[in-house]
Amino acid sequence: MTYSSSPEPSFEPGASLADVGEFGLISAITSRFEQGEQVLIGPGDDAAVLRVRTGHVVVSTDLMVEGRHFRRDWASASDVGHRAAAQNISDINAMGGRATSLTIGLAAPADLEAQWALDFAQGFADECALVGASVVGGDLTRADQVVVAVTVMGACTVAPVVRSGAAPGDVLALAGRQGWAAGGLAVLGRGFRSPRVLVEAYRRPQPPYDAGPAAADAGATAMIDVSDGLLSEAGHLATASGVAVDVRTDALEVPEPLHAVAAALGGVDPVAFMLSGGDDHALLATFPAGTALPEGWSVIGEVREGEGVTVDGAPWTGETGWTHF
């Protein structure tokens, strides 16, 4: 992927989307999206045309709705762009693949500052650049609130790792930060901005983009992106595979900032952030017992005969994760 050193277009301070118009905004936004070698036709036509190499093509779609998934007073436009890209790229990561191309649908109020849309686009583009993916198209429309719809396409060089392959005797392993974004959300929800490291983790996740392909190469039997909560996602994996999953809390390394937030909230168990928190986009996977796990992966439990999810061998009565309805 190549990048131009020419200045990026911007708008007059305070100019709204209605002021700059649909096509002026499209032109400014698409200038921020550099195209990789896999793109034969990018933004500007009725559809993008991509070069497909050997392997499997994997596709996923995700939505972000203002007030439901983000607040503009809690996260900058660039942060929202990073988050929107990250949560989609992570879905490809969870299949053991790498994202190559994305499209964006953006709906927004006419009085939204046009610079917000440009900053969002830049954050989105910067996150995509971390994996060498290109934004190849999208759509704009007017709405009462900001809504972002993203479709991501990627490729797996080996067979995709699905949720339904776990077997009794497998180990359960985790890669990436977990619970950090939940801690940040708890802080923001109480009107604070510290510990800053947790707030920044909520605003801009750091998914382990190399962990998915590495797990696939190492023989992972099942894998899932932790977007809504570790126990919630473990439940999806258990149901799809027809097995039981047990999570060991003594295997979870709770970072110091989570201890600090838990204490400030009145003795909340910091492990709860890790068990039910989402938005870090860590990966949860199962491997045959005895597998040499790739760098960044650690065993946090096991797969057993049966059904459902337990914590330290017992039912969990607390929150398991985010639900949309």
Q: Which residues are annotated as a binding site?
A: 46, 60-62, 69, 91, 138-139, 163, 225, 227-228, 279, 322
Do residues 77 and 119 make contact, with C-beta atoms less than 8 angstroms apart? yes
Cα-to-chain-centroid distance, residue 165: 22
Question: H helices within the chain, ranges in order?
Answer: 17-20, 22-30, 77-93, 114-129, 180-189, 196-203, 211-218, 230-241, 256-264, 270-276
Nearest one of 115, 144, 110 to 14, comparing CA atoms: 115
Tokens matching residue 242: 């027809």
* Residue 33, C-beta contacts closer than 8 angstroms, at least 6 positions apart: 42, 43, 121, 125, 128, 134, 135, 136
Q: Would you mind telling me the total number of residues written for the chain in this entry?
A: 325
Annotated binding site for substrate: 69, 279, 322
Annotated binding site for ATP: 138-139, 163, 227
Strand partners, 180: none
Do residues 102 and 151 make contact, with C-beta atoms less than 8 angstroms apart? yes
Annotated binding site for Mg(2+): 46, 60-62, 91, 139, 225, 228
